[in-house]
Amino acid sequence: MLDTILQQLIIGLTNGMVFALVALGYTMVYGILEFINFAHGDVFMLTSFLALTLVGLFDLQGASGASLAGGLCLVILTCALFGAGLNYVIDRLVYKPLRKAPKLAPLVSAIGVSFILQNLGLFWGGMPLKVFGGGNQAAAPKAFPDILPAHNLLGAGSGLTLMPKDVLVIGASLVVMAALYGVVRFSKLGKAMRATAQDPAAARLMGIDVDQVIGATFLVGGGLAGFAAVIYSLYINTIHYQMGYQNGLYAFTAAVVGGIGNIPGAVLGGLLLGLVRAYSDQFIGAQWQPAVLFGILILILIFRPSGLLGSTAREKV
């Protein structure tokens, strides 16, 4: 029983880290604009397709050692830049012209962008590449190669399983989250973000280029989505053109539970979500997972409407 509890703890923490990375993109944009970017999950999805494409082009399936590490670092960097650029372009082309429009307008636009990105993913999955199975079944899930070593770090005789990819997900996610927190709390850009989140009009009066800060926020959020896409693909080993909707929904839920607009809250919400999913699957049943998950969400929002770490005032990133 103890081994089962500890094993689900590992699974929950690993999944929770991925949810937290995606949730950070939601919470940063909301902290600045009070706007839910529902296309964020599909930026995550589209970047996972890029990751699979690069793995095939670099032939990382049979790589090992320094070549695998170097290729993987290049894939992560390329995907982070792609996610950042895509998110920035979406903001400039779609959201920026609607800054002064009623809040429903950018919300509906975000849903529209989400559908566009899903169809781009469907088109991408139908490309005649070997890594996509020749593109014969564009709508089918794609197998992401298990390129990391597959051995138990705790030993073959251990009752627990800790794979190298578990360590990669948790370790890399912690480093990225710590770096993000440092940027937001101590850098000049981070101070501008917090000032804009608190009072955009006052920030403008203090000489802060609010539009530039918003663009930087979308860049950072997209970069996090790109990084999370690679980590998720390496861990789950399956991607799909509709995965952005489901994972985006979980990540958004994590952001709300933790206190949307609050960076530590997004991390806490992601971890809590991952743990609830893992233990619910093990002890209650996978078919009851959504009911348990969103039942807990409803209870939290009834007794703590602003989230676990949120405040009733305007949230800061």
Strands 238-239 and 142-143, bridge-based pairing: antiparallel
Over range 304-308, report the average pLDDT: 85
Query: 273-305 pLDDT, tens per residue?
Result: 999 989 888 888 888 888 888 888 888 888 888
Confidence of residue 311 (pLDDT cuts 50, 70, 90): low
Query: 245-261 pLDDT, tens per residue?
Result: 888 888 888 888 888 87
Nearest of 78, 95, 77 to residue 40 by alpha carbon: 95
CA distance 66 to 183: 30
Confidence of residue 312 (pLDDT cuts 50, 70, 90): low
Least confident of 9-13, 21-25, 76-80, 289-293: 289-293
Confidence of residue 131 (pLDDT cuts 50, 70, 90): confident
Topology of the domain covering 15-125+145-303: ABC transporter involved in vitamin B12 uptake, BtuC (1.10.3470)
Over range 139-163, report the average pLDDT: 85
Angle between helix 164-186 and 2-33 (nearest 10): 30
- How confident is the model at residue 316, as a pLDDT? 45
Predicted TM-score (pTM) of the model is 0.90
Q: Given a cut of 70, is residue 226 above it in pLDDT?
A: yes
- How confident is the model at residue 315, as a pLDDT? 45
Residue indicated by tokens 């636009």: 109
CA distance 311 to 104: 24
- How confident is the model at residue 149, as a pLDDT? 80
Count CB atoms within 10 A of the CB of residue 226. Answer: 31
Cα 34 to the chain's mean position, in Å?
A: 19
Domain range summary for the chain, segments of one domain joined by +: 15-125+145-303
Confidence of residue 214 (pLDDT cuts 50, 70, 90): very high
Q: What is the mean pLDDT of the chain?
A: 88
Q: Both tokens of residue 187?
A: 């850098």
Write b or e for each residue in 97-127: b if 16 or more Cβ atoms lie within 10 A of its Cβ, otherwise e: ebeeeeeeebeebbeebbeebbebbeebbbe
Query: 42-69 pLDDT, tens per residue?
Result: 999 999 999 999 998 888 887 778 888 8
- How confident is the model at residue 221, as a pLDDT? 92
Q: Given a cut of 60, is residue 317 above it in pLDDT?
A: no
